Structure 1
Amino acid sequence: MFSGAQISLYPMCDDFVGVILKAISAMDLYRPNFRIETDDISTLIVGPPEQLFPAMRDLFASAAASGVHCVLSATVSRGCPGEPDD
């Protein structure tokens, strides 16, 4: 079974795009095991449940390392519609 999270990251600074893009690259380690889809508003990550929260932690830690105030909003689900049940 897969888990998923719809994540929105809100850095409170003028260079919010740069902070977000750098934070998304912090999840490169997880790309082989996850489906990661980013749009204009949020990022969807779907993959093994034991790696979901570490991936979200690394995303947020990267954004927070920029030194600006950051907010991460996430909706997490266990078992994603349309995903195979293994």
Structure 2
Amino acid sequence: MNHVCGTSKIAGCSFSIHPMSEDFAEIILDSLNMVDTSKVWLDTDDVTTTIRGRLEHIFDVTKAILLQVSKSGVHAALQATYSIGCPGDSNGDTCPDESLDRMNEDSSRFIHQHLSAKFSLYPMGGGSYMDTIYTQIEAMKSKGVQVTPAHYSTRLDGDTHTVFKGLEDVFRATEASGSSHTVMTVTVSVNSPSTKEVES
């Protein structure tokens, strides 16, 4: 099928997900089959999966894949790099669907999963980038997420839906603040045995 790109600004995410299980390939493939990726361009190689499209669809798909993997109960890690406004980007390899409907929200909303994460924000092409970063870290605290300082990143603990909503809001606000190229890296852990030991 030939797609015609719309007028929306293209966002993208390159991610890898790692279930700590001998059945990792089956868990990943089963999870991908449960996620609707029709509103993003998707390509997988032996290192990462890359998706491109509207920002809401990028976050919808990455959150849905993490939630589906988490249903297996195994310890899993997600590493993701979100980007928008890259000067070297082009309209190729994408089909930013103009509709705002998130295709996985109905199937994802009933999956409740606590996660631990660390994220780093990189507003580029702007002025006082550290002020922007500090502002967005403070904003995350108001979203129902536990926020803890860490070296080279900020730690987040909370429900997957709450954390991902916070990450998306922070990403959007950073771009709106004047960052011409915004990058955010996120490392997520779910079903960690060490977390369960702390909680018990």
TM-score normalised by length of structure 2: 0.39
Choose the corresponding residue for 1:64, options 70, 95, 114.
70
* Deviation at residue 63 of structure 1 after TM alignment: 0.6
Percent of paired sites with the same residue: 31
1:46 maps onto 2:44 in alignment = no
What is the RMSD computed on CA atoms of the aligned residues?
Answer: 1.7
* Deviation at residue 25 of structure 1 after TM alignment: 2.0
Please name the residue that 1:37 is paired with: 43
- Secondary structure of 2:82's counterpart equals strand
* Deviation at residue 23 of structure 1 after TM alignment: 2.0
Please name the residue that 2:15 is paired with: 7
* Deviation at residue 70 of structure 1 after TM alignment: 0.5
Structure whose alpha-carbon radius of gyration is higher: 2
- Secondary structure of 1:5's counterpart equals strand
Q: Does the 8 Å CA contact 1:8/1:74 hold for their aligned counterparts?
A: yes
Counterpart of 2:15, as a letter, is I
Counterpart of 2:48, as a letter, is S
Gaps of 5+ in 1: none
Gaps of 5+ in 2: 1-8, 97-200
Please name the residue that 1:21 is paired with: 29
Counterpart of 1:38, as a letter, is T
Q: Does the 8 Å CA contact 1:36/1:45 hold for their aligned counterparts?
A: yes
* Deviation at residue 83 of structure 1 after TM alignment: 2.1
Counterpart of 1:30, as a letter, is T
Counterpart of 1:2, as a letter, is I
Runs of 4+ in structure 1 over 6 Å off: none
Work out the CA distance in 1 between the residues paired with 2:19 and 2:57.
Answer: 24
TM-score normalised by length of structure 1: 0.86
Please name the residue that 2:113 is paired with: none
Higher relative contact order (CA 8 A, sep 6+): 1
Q: Does the 8 Å CA contact 1:4/1:79 hold for their aligned counterparts?
A: no
Work out the CA distance in 2 between the residues paired with 1:37 and 1:30.
Answer: 11
* Deviation at residue 6 of structure 1 after TM alignment: 0.3
Please name the residue that 1:76 is paired with: 82
Work out the CA distance in 1 between the residues paired with 2:33 and 2:15.
Answer: 14
